Structure formats: C-alpha cells, structure tokens
Structure 1
Amino acid sequence: MNITVIGTGYVGLVAGACFSEVGNNVYCVDVDEKKINSLKKGIIHIYEEHLEKIVLKNYNNKQLIFTVDLEEGLFNSEICFIAVGTPMAEDGCADLSAVFQVAKNIGELMDNDLIVVIKSTVPVGTGDKIKEIIQKELYKRKVDYKFEIVSNPEFLKEGTAVKDSMRPDRVIIGCEDEKTINIIKILYAPYVKNRDRFIVMDVRSAEMSKYVSNAMLATRISFMNEIANICENIGADINKVRLGVGSDTRIGYRFLYAGCGYGGSCFPKDVTALIKTGEHAGYIPNILKSVQETNKKQKKVIVNKVKERFGNDLSGLTFGIWGLSFKPGTNDMREAPSSIIINGLIDMGAKIKAYDPKAREIAENIFQNNENIEFFNDKYETLSRCDSLILVTEWNEFRSPDFDNISEKLKNNIIFDGRNQFDKEELNKIDFEYYQIGTK
C-alpha cells in the first residue's frame, strides 16, 4: 500500500518504519526541516531498540521516504496517518492545534479518495471535528473526493515501541464503514497473523480507549506507591506485599512496583486530559485527580529520604545519580522523576554527578549552564567521591552492579533506591546503608 504518516515523533516514526518493514511504500512528513534532513542522513532523534536499523534499511531501499512536502507525501496515497503531538495546554486539556492544522492541510492537498487515520492521542469527539475540517476544505476546492475517518490509537510502550508495533497486543479500529475496516485489517494483517487481535468499534469509543488504558495503568502505579508509603509508616514491606497481592490472578503482577513516580509523554498528559474531559462533561473524576496528586508527591519521596538522612542543608555534599530517562529503554526525559530529584537536591545546596546510558544529551540540554551538575559516560566513575548513590531509572545494567566497586568510589556506603532494585538484606550484610521505597 501507499501510506502517508504525518509527524515523525515516537509514534509517527515508529509507525512509518514498521509499515515500510512489511513492504508498504511510506512517506513520513514533518514540518521540521531540520529533523527531516537529519533522518535523511540516518540520524535518528529518538532512541528505541531496533528503530535505527529498520529506518536505515527501508530508507536505503526507498520504501521509506522523508519529506517536508505534504503534497508530495499525499500523492497517490491510500491511507494517511495523523501522528502529530497533542501536548498538554496551559488549562490541562490536549492541545489539538497541530492535529487541526494537519486536517486542514489534508483537505487542501488530497488528490484522490483517502482514508484518514488518527494515530495521535485525541479527546473524544476529535474525529468528528477533523471530518468537518477536511470536508470544509474540499467544499472550498469544489472537489468531490471521498474520505473516511478512522481512530486507530497507538499502544506503544517507549523502550519496546518497535516490538509493540510489529507484535501488538491488540489493534483498535474506530470506524463504522465496512470497506474501510477491511482495508485497515489488510494493512495490519502481517502484524497479527498468529491470531485475531482486531477490536472494531465506533470512533468515539476508540478515542476513549486510549485515555482509559493509560489512566488505568497510571492508577495502578499511584495506588501501589500510596500503599508503599503506608507500608513504610507501619513497618510492612511493599516488596513482600506486592508478591502477596500479585499472586491473585484477578490482579497479576504487572504495574505493581513501588517507585519514585511515573513520567513520560503519555501518562501525565493523558490522565490530565481525561480529568478535563470529565469536567467538561459535568463530572468530577475524583479518583483520577487523586492519581495525579499522588504521583506528584511520589516524585519527591527520594528527596525527602535524602533530607531525613542528611538534613535540610546539603551544601558540600555530592550525589551520584544512576538513570535520567523516565523509564529504561528510551532517552525520553519528559516528566521524568530524575528532574524533580536533581532540582530538589540542588535547591538544598547539593552537587550532582549523573549517568544514563541513553539520555545524557537530552539531560545536558535540560540542565545546560547549571554548574551544579556534571555528566559521565561510566556509571562507576559517576560515583567517585560522592556521598551516596541514588538509583532513579531501572536500566538492566544497574540490576547486578559491582558493589565492591561502588563502595570504593563512594565516600559513604549509602544507596537510595527509587526502584527497589536491590536485596536489602544482602546489602546490609556488606555494610551498606540502603533506603528503599515502601519499607523501613
């Protein structure tokens, strides 16, 4: 098929690359000329495992084309995906300005019948507005091209986005036109050939499904973090509680880990947008508001533990940070707990040494000109002459570190673990002062 993907962020670039990987001809369009030129040179602006390989392969095979010219991208296109960003506006609602501009441009430039697929995360009712915008432009042009609107929300997890694209848990199609549904099914058939994973519904329900999925996962995380804080106050161990709770097959173990809060581009933004959706409809979503508030507080838990141990004045102290991205497998630092922790410690007078296997460049841009933070390319060198180690992101390379090496580098054998990665009893045996979340 001939496909156009508008937007080359996490969603658009991964989708375009994966569609080309199974034989489709894909145009990836973006208004950012600098980004497009970088992609043409093989420079990938985001880190995702396997992404660079399939982008370079299919670009060289001319099945994946990057351009700033939407008219070129739409020429003879059968399906056009809208995958531009919908960031949080000042009022907490999703900012749909880019989505609506793209819809207008499609109406101005489409030169044949077209299926318009909304991949961006958008509030309920956005599909109807996009349809109105495109139709208005076609009326202006006095042309009678036919088009259908499809909601096809993405469920990619940053860090495993390529895998999630090629082997999705499910493919949700929001559409009521049978012919269009069948075409989208054919497009996705290579990814779901082992079993039927298609779920077909109306557009509004598909739009809602994405928000509810993210809000449910965010709720599990905040719930367990709240339980962890209770455990800490009453002398229980959240790590053991998780095993007891997760063994219930109705609950399961996923997203039951206590930690220093969730971040990223999706959960914070989508929970807030869903709250606003409820409020605009005349309903106050109290549970979601609590999820949001609990997460904000949780990002400060490590700072509070450091304060309890070292006092309010951290002048003259240096802390080694392991992990900057909001989760392992990505270089994304949007809404990352590391930023809250680092700024909190610096505000109390501390110096920071930091290491992340993928997010250093982004972190340097975030903290540019801040003399209180230094970045390293080696996790052990990061700890040299530090007063303690703070683990923030659970990258695999941090799971079984050399504790003798850590002890040699640190001034004090003190570890604050924001992801409960290590065995407390074992660390105590080798004379480490070890602080977890959800246990004394």
Structure 2
Amino acid sequence: MRIAMIGSGYVGLVSGACLADFGHEVVCIDKDPEKIAALNEGRMPIYEPGLDALVAENVRQKRLAFSTDLKPAVAGAQAVFIAVGTPSRRGDGFADLSYVYAAARAIAEALTGYAVVVTKSTVPVGTGDEVERILREARPDLDVGVASNPEFLREGAAIGDFKRPDRIVIGAEDARAAAVMQEVYRPLYLNQAPILFTGRRTAELTKYAANAFLATKITFINEIADLVGTGDEVERILREARPDLDVGVASNPEFLREGAAIGDFKRPDRIVIGAEDARAAAVMQEVYRPLYLNQAPILFTGRRTAELTKYAANAFLATKITFINEIADLCEQVGANVQEVARGIGLDNRIGGKFLHAGPGYGGSCFPKDTLALVKTAQDYGTPVRIVETVVAVNDQRKRAMARKVIAACGGSVRGKRVALLGLTFKPNTDDMRDAPSLSIIAGLQDAGARIVAYDPEGMEQARPLLQGVDYAEDAYACAEGADALVIVTEWNAFRALDLARLKATMAAPVLVDLRNVYASADAEQHGFAYAGIGVA
C-alpha cells in the first residue's frame, strides 16, 4: 500500500518506519526542511533504540522516503496518517489542534482518489468529526474516509510496541475505511495482534482513558508510599497480658471473592505473609506448604507491609471500578461506547481487563469498608490518599445517580409507577446485601414516588430487613408483570438470557434500564424496548 505520514516527529517517524518495514511504501512529510535533510542523510531527530538501523534499511529498500512536499506524497496514497503535534494550549490546557486541522486542509487539496485520512496523533473526542468536516468543506466532491488509530508507543520501546502490540484500536464509521485500515495492519495478523474496531469517537477516547488510568495507577502507589503501617497492637496486647509469653505475631490478609472463595483460597494469585522474625515465618510457610504443588507465590514481608497490602489492593480495585464508571458517564455525553473503551485499554497488559465493567458502583463487605478505613488511617498519619478519598465520594454519589437514570428513562417521573428491579445483592453468586447499590437505588426511586417490586435469586431474605415498602416476586417474569420499567441491577446468570418478547408482553411499559450492560441496545430495541444502558449513547 502507498501510505503518507504527515509529521516526522516521534510518532510519525516510528510509525512510518515500522509500516515501511511491513512492506508498505511510506513517505514521511514534515514542514521542517532541516529535519527532512537530516533524515535523508541518515541522522535521526530523536533517540529511539534501533530506529536509525530500521530507517536506514527501509530507505535502502526504497520503501521509506522523506519530503517537505505534501502534494505528491498524498496524491495516490491509500492511507494518509496525521501524526503532527497536539501540545497543550497556553492559557487553558486544551489540546492545540491547529496543526491537525492545517494538515487536514492540505490533505484535502492534494488527494486525487479515494483514501482514508487517519488521525494518529492523540486528539480529543470529536476531532475526527471536525477533520471530516474540514475535508468535505474544502472539497465537497471528495471521496474520502476518516478513521482514528491512536498510538500506544512507549519511548524506549516504541518499535517493539508497534510491531508486537497489545492491541490495535481503529475507529471508523464505514466498512470501506475499516477495510483499508485492516489491510494496513494485515502483516500483524501473523503476530495475532488483536485489532479492535470501534466508532471513531470511542477510539479517540480510548487513548486518553488508557493514559489517564496509567497516571492514576502511578499516583495511587505514590500516595500509598507515603503511608506507614497501623501499628502492632495485637502483639502489645499479648505481651502486656502475658509478659513471659513465647509467641510470634504474623499478618496474613485474605484475598477471597464472595462467590469464588474456595477456589481463591486453594488456587491463589499470591499469599502475603507479614512476619517480623524467621521463626514465625517458618511456621506460616509450613501452614501453606500444601500450596507449593500449585506453585502459589508466597510473599514474605514485614507485618505492617502485609496489613497495608490488603487495604491497598481493595482500594486500587475500587479505584479501577470508579474510573471506568466515570469514563462511562463521559461516553454517554460524547457518543462513545464504554465497553469498547474498556476492551481497548484493558488489552494493555499494564492495565488489564478485570474490574473494568461499568455499572452502578461497588458495594459489598470489603471495598466500601476498606477504602474508608484506608482514608481514615492515612488522615491519622498525615498522609491523605486523595485518590481514594475521591473514589469513596464518587461511588457514594453514583449509586443515587442510578435512581435518577431510571427516572430519566421513565420520562422524568416515576411517581405512582411500578418499577421492577432484577438483582438486589451487590454482585451475583452471593446473598450479601452490605452496601449493595440496590439499597440506594430503591431509596432514590421511593423518594421519587415509585412503587418497587424486586427479585433476586439469593438475596431477598437478607434484603427484607433493610428495605421497607418493597414487594418481592418469585421470578424475573413475575417481577416484570405490570411494571412501567425493568431495571437490571445485578448481573445474575439467570438474567442474561431472558425472553425479551415475553417480558415486553407482560409489562405496562417497555422500558429496560440495564445497569450492567447485560443486553445489547440493538437487541432490546428490536424487541420494542426503550433501552438505557451504562456508557452507551
């Protein structure tokens, strides 16, 4: 394929050289004549391990060239990448997109046939729409597609990242543009690199979300680093009660998930043991000796480190949940899809896909209690963990906001209406109602005048003492009977394959509010439902 790369800085040069190495014919364009002269002489404007040799080889093979003249490079190109700078704008911090838009105008003048114009630069959501507007305004007759293909290159490892990526995210609004982009990256099929096709706005948001989460991750551990342990009160009590006691004290936090606790204990990710002396450590090692066969990693630490590890683990997972929930809210406003964003960032092995499922907020016996305890401990030691403080506040607000989402789906009022809730427990495969999102959602709906009927496969007995004025149904279909809205709160397996036609026939109004994104909006709408999910426009 013939490819033009507008911009020969870090992203443009590395991307252009790697695409040429795949066998494409690439011309990198830059307005800086000194940079182009240096590149033509084999001198790199940046340092990146292996880049000079990669460029030299592809120039020698006549697959890679450099020029200041945009028109001949773009004319006849099948894909034109925009990889110019998007620095923060002075005064307000917004991305300066003037170089991107200038490139789009120049491309419009130079195109001679169908091509896909690709934003490779990191750009805010909606930039691709503006690039397309500029192209069509400049040349109304233009046959062109516009795609987003954000880069995920790490300085110092950029060539490896391009050639062996965790994922390739391509945002395109039409099949023709997507087909061209698939051909651009066809050489990576041999590496089985996952290519994630999304809408353009989703792709644009994915890059920002990925970098924002990695920045959150760094800041989180920096705040934890400032926090010391909570003390050795157990040992003090023991020795105060029996000064002659021959005893060791260890910390061995649990990492059990409700609904999967036995498997978690027998096949753990890790075992953390905090001990201050070798004798206590040896006893604990013998306790867990049977797990050596499973090669379960045992991490020996100091006692205070072990104590803090449990709180930090739960606080970070709560942070991850809250992060994707806030991204979901943004997706709803900008027209992106949070499930695709989550997949796009979760394929990055520095982030991972677990706990990136947007929903009504976290609950249960651990996350709410442990995040709050960590916040209070940090405050006591004068090292506030502001990220976790924000997570706690955002999660509390989110649960009540889900009630407002249901009210909006019902036309702005639920007074006198029957609202059916499927799922009461904070997660499936448990009967635990502690801090379950359903409690706040039901309270918010009742305050707005709704009549609530609910069904949960395991949690109704535990829910009864906590909820007043709620009717309980014997199954999902009985719950939906006569309802003005059906709300999926907990993603029990029993709710994943409901007969939507049967539900609609029994309901007073076909409104489905899916707070777990169990159903695709297209499927629900095909069955006649007004559908509202999380993080989908």
* TM-score in terms of structure 2 length: 0.56
Partner residue, 1:129? 233
Give per-residue Cα distances to partners, 1:138-192, cap 9 Å, x unaligned: 14xxxx3311000000101111112111221111100032222122122112234
The 1:194/1:313 distance shift into structure 2, 3 A limit, reads closer
Match of 2:441 in 1: 341
Q: Does structure 1 residue 239 correspond to structure 2 residue 336?
A: no
- One-letter amino acid of the counterpart of residue 178, structure 1: A
Counterpart of 1:395 (choices 492, 498, 523) is 492
**How many Å apart are 1:127 and its aligned residue?**
5.6
User: Runs of 5+ in structure 1 lacking a partner?
Assistant: 1-122
2:462 counterpart SS class: helix
CA contact (8 A) 2:409 2:511 kept: no
**How has the CA–CA distance of structure 1 residues 133 and 245 changed in structure 2, closer, same or farther, with 3 Å as cutoff?**
same
Counterpart of 2:372 (choices 267, 272, 275) is 272
* Superposed displacement of residue 317, structure 1: 0.5
Cα distance per residue 1:190-241 (max 9 Å; x no partner): 2342214100000000001001000110000001011111111111111121
Distance in structure 1 (CA, Å) of the matches to 2:345 and 2:318: 18
Uncovered stretches (5+) of structure 2, i.e. residues with no partner: 1-226
Q: Distance in 1 between matches of 2:294 and 2:252?
A: 20
For these two proteins, the number of residue pairs brought into alignment is 311
Contact 1:389/1:415 (<8 A) preserved = yes
Give the 5 Å matches for 1:350-365: 350-365=450-465
Which among 403, 409, 432 is matched to residue 506 of structure 2? 409
Structure-1 residue corresponding to 2:173 = none
Q: 1:301 matched to which residue of 2?
A: 401
Do 1:302 and 1:416's aligned partners in 2 also have CA atoms closer than 8 Å? Answer: no
Instruction: Please name the residue that 2:473 is paired with.
Output: 376
Hey, what does 2:533 align to over in structure 1? 436
TM-score by length of 1: 0.68
Instruction: Answer yes or no: is the 8 Å Cα contact 1:214–1:266 preserved in 2.
Output: yes
SS at match of 1:405: helix
Structure 1 Cα separation of the partners of residues 351 and 466 of structure 2: 38
The structural deviation recorded for 1:124 is: 6.3
Do the aligned residues in 1 keep the contact of 2:228 with 2:381 (CA within 8 Å)?
no
Q: Which residue of 2 aligns with 1:317?
A: 417
1:328 partnered with 2:328: no
**1:56-135 matched pairs, under 5 angstroms:** 125=229, 128-135=232-239
CA distance in structure 2 between the aligned counterparts of 1:229 and 1:133, rounded to whole angstroms: 49
C-alpha separation between the residues in 2 aligned to 1:309 and 1:396? Answer: 24
Does the residue aligned with 2:249 lie in a helix, a strand or coil?
Answer: strand
Task: Tell me the residue number matched to 1:427.
Answer: 524
Name the structure, 1 or 2, with higher relative contact order (CA <8 Å, separation 6+).
1
Paired AA for residue 232 in structure 2: D
Is contact 1:127-1:149 (8 Å) kept? no
Find the aligned partners of 1:396 and 1:328 in 2 and give their Cα distance.
Answer: 8
SS at match of 2:361: coil
- CA distance, structure 1, for counterparts of residue 464 and residue 471 of structure 2: 9
Q: Which amino acid aligns with 1:275?
A: V
Instruction: Show the counterpart of 1:255.
Output: 355
Quote how far apart the aligned CAs of 1:245 are: 1.3
- Which amino acid is the alignment partner of residue 266 of structure 1? C
Moved more, 123-132 or 241-250: 123-132
Q: Cα gap change, 1:329/1:167 in structure 2, threshold over 3 Å: closer, same or farther?
A: same
Answer with 1 or 2: which has the greater Rg. Answer: 2
Q: Which residue of structure 2 lines up, in the alignment, with residue 50 of structure 1?
A: none
AA of the residue aligned to 2:456: D
CA contact (8 A) 1:420 1:437 kept: yes
3-state DSSP of counterpart to 1:299: helix
SS at match of 1:407: helix
Query: Which residue of 273, 286, 293 corresponds with 1:193?
Result: 293
**Contact 1:168–1:192 under 8 Å retained in 2:** no
Q: Secondary structure of the equivalent of 1:434?
A: strand
Q: Distance in 2 between matches of 1:132 and 1:126?
A: 13
Contact 1:170–1:198 (CA under 8 A) maintained in structure 2? yes
Report percent identity of matched pairs. Answer: 41
Query: Of the candidates 323, 328, 346, which is equivalent to residue 223 of structure 1?
Result: 323
| Deviation string, structure 1 residues 95-126 (Cα, Å, up to 9, x no partner) | xxxxxxxxxxxxxxxxxxxxxxxxxxxx9655
Is the contact between residue 330 and residue 359 of structure 1 (CA under 8 Å) also seen in structure 2?
yes
Q: Does the residue aligned with 2:250 lie in a helix, a strand or coil?
A: strand
Q: CA deviation at 1:260?
A: 0.4
- Partner of 1:300, secondary structure, is helix
CA RMSD of aligned residues (A): 1.6
User: Is residue 252 of structure 2 the alignment partner of residue 148 of structure 1?
Assistant: no
